[in-house]
Structure 1
């Protein structure tokens, strides 16, 4: 019986093959025999990529967008830079800030910093006359940067954009407002997609900002510090404003580009970026102070409306106050120590209700000729120093070394702030101390946000 059943099985298989040969076209059968040979090479590479040791995310060539770019000026380097800086620019009804923005980025960077970055500009307008005029100006102003691969200008034709009218009116925005912010999302999506891989990190800016001196070095330092921590991060912020100064890892850019395009009509880009950060499992913002970028535009790119938005934490110079020790007899709240007001960064001094005669004293490591002083107190209009004055002192006390023998008053605080320049014209001798003296007690606590000084050495 076993032999008979085997014969039946073999006979059935032969009948099935014969039927396939008779009823099926020849090319299907031959295709079955050479199916592995006919797989396109790019499909095979994609399959191999998914099981390779290198993560397919790290290769940054996934989730491609259906878009074609036109190179208007410059050409990216074959070697990946440390930082790619992206900004999108459109024709404004009033004024243009693109060239001053680019001048600020390059002039505030050292030659070594410029060689470590590439600035990518997306001309996101469809007015041919304006585009040609803008490119001529860029070519004449930034010939060196274009030649060295530090500046690249691109354009995307209007045919590659999704519908920009008749969109959902979320938040009851007017139709023209919805069109503007939706197109901006697509602009950023195309810009970010192009920039993937050009730099190890990507910095998003707008076309109407100016930058702090040596911003790239400061960014590099904060990245290194952040990477040493155990927690992962998706976005670092170097300005509190809009979509300015937001930094991403290059490996995240294909995802971000696709995310902005998928939800382009839902909400403004600065809202979308928050959702993206949270989806990438970074729950809290990581904002560094002082800010490295300041909004310079007076008129918005949307309808040319007046825009006075400024970042209160921006400092154009990278402050390095002289080496010093800082002391105070005001009771300190938690870990908000006096020295945090002296050091550049996001820290500050926070003290409990100061009394008359209380002080915060800075003792310089070396006598210094002070040319300018800025002291800011309070936060959001609260915890200001109501009554106080700023003084310079000479001759450090020998024993305690926490103060000076004599002090000269420079002036009083006004609305919690003291600012004075040209101090060396009044006091041209070197000083050993700077003191903030409380001249009347107050019930409110006091925050000293920052103490910034310029010296004869740093001014030269």
Structure 2
């Protein structure tokens, strides 16, 4: 319709000009009565000519606007289209959030022109999350299907294990499931390795572009690592110390690309460099090449180059992440990589607890006894609990459980005004995070009065009576039981943990704290 309208306007203008020319060529001996009619017709044709010019201009303007709208629509479809509906809540978030986010750089088609024919391949088919932004730290983990064993769950458990609720609010973990239908069957080993490295480079680049606007810092991890307890505070503190200095990345592991922290604002530049040479080198080599391009002077020697590169990468020791995977995502390849600076991982937290007589219906595994765990010498590891199993701490003398100054100081440093914890029972550890207590209560036995009397003296309504005079004061949530004991309940003569349903896995206590 637009070309025909434009042509019609042009024909109208030509007709108007021809008509005016014809009118001016008419002889003047037609008589006085003819002149007024011809004058009126001439004036109308002049107006029509002006209108035709205006219409032509308007049509050109509209055509240009339609072209711009079409381009914008194509870009929107390219960048923000999602193909899978997960749920009403997830879909709503996708519509609101993906419409605002730019995942890709315009230059990406210069390095991978074949993707112009498959624009949807640059978008995630499924996005699950809450659309969080503004955190201090974003952790990026690409993962692929492994033939032998997957380490992803263990990696995530390790990262989440020691985080407090405040730390969980200030960190974002993005898992990129980078699966394709590429068929490596029939290829020689070197060809497979090259394809694998190329795809890995693209996976890292895509993940960086996706995460660039979600936080202040971005940390690259892999799906087969464990984290040292307290890693979040250590990383955040070190990044704050180095904030005012010039650096490209901070190193929290010496292995490959694991544990490298970047400023989020640098991610577009880094990702573009990786895309530019994604077929040529492994990702950690490309990272070193970025440093060379940024700071090395070809007119100076290698020593000067290494000194300048060292200023752009700051190393934190000891390492906070360790590679644990044996089976590589590359079929048939074994990985024996270990970070020597990681040190020995602590599997339990020791405390000085009050003297008590210990007993339990649970059978411990090997040397991991309850007595050793209570003394801070080991963790307690028990074979699968069943309903009514218990752990009992009978104190030699009735005790007052007091506030714990160190925990109070930590909470104040984190901006919390909550009072300190007075008892802590933490199940699972950094290596065996799944062996946790579930549906298990914490109960105390007051020493001076019956539980019924205690419950009737205005204590918290959340307390409930158990058997044998015990009162339920708490329970395990996400593997941890922690809290305070009100003054009106004290002193206490005993404390116990009671299991209320059969478990599917073993149970492990890595921390026992009763502070007096």
- Normalising by the smaller structure, the TM-score range is 0.3 to 0.5
Greater fraction strand:
1
Greater fraction helix:
2
Highest Rg: 1 or 2? 2
TM-score for the superposition, normalised by structure 1: 0.47
